Amino acid sequence: MPYSRAYYEAHREEILQREREWYRKHHIQERGYDKKNRERINAYCRKRYAENKEIRERSAERAKKYYKEHLEARRAYHRRHYAEHKKEYFEKQRQRIKENPLPHRAHALVQYHKIPFGPQCESCGATVNLERHHPDYNKPLDVQTLCSSCNKLFRSRGENANALQNEQHGSRRKV
Ligand SMILES: [Zn+2]
């Protein structure tokens, strides 16, 4: 339902009337609002969407516009949420560090010693979004330079850059 429940209940007749007009306009014989008919209409809309490039573009355009127009509102919401839940976030972070202190310590040491980045990702050669990667948290000053997408991949697999040197992966960036 594209409306909030409260809105739907307050404007029910108006909404149903609009839908009836839409059915007539699109030559869909009205057969009440049973589930079967609803599915048929949804299938019709999906089909038109898939076949019609213009509709897809218009929809993408609209989404982009909505995203832009609500940027500030969204930011304000997240700021407010963070302010209200600051303590929980802080506590969660403390808990994470307590349970797994090595990554935190390694990161802090790298920052403290100002270990420089390499010129590019050691795996795919990207020159943007570079991050430091620890193949072994017990050697905190031993770092590799990886782009953020490679880093995510290595972290999830627990491997170092050499193992995947020539492998293709999803969001690989061109140099
Ligand atoms: Zn990379």
Please report, for the chain, the start and end positions of each structural domain, with discontinuous segments joined by +: 5-69, 71-99, 116-164
Q: What are the pLDDT digits (tens) for 63-74?
A: 999 999 999 999
> Is 80 exceeded by the pLDDT of residue 170?
no
Q: How far is the CA of 66 from the centre of ligand 1 (A)?
A: 32
Residues lining ligand 1 (ion), CB within 5 A? 121, 123-124, 126, 147, 150
Ligand 1: distance of its center to the CA of 45 in Å? Answer: 40
For residue 11, report the distance from its CA to the centre of ligand 1, in Å.
53
pLDDT number for residue 51? 93
Q: What is the pLDDT of residue 45?
A: 87
For the chain, the average pLDDT equals: 83
Looking at the whole model, is its pTM more than 0.75? no
Q: How many CB atoms lie within 10 A of CB 8?
A: 13
How much distance in Å is there from the Cα of 128 to the middle of ligand 1? 9
Calpha distance 119→172 (Å, rounded): 17
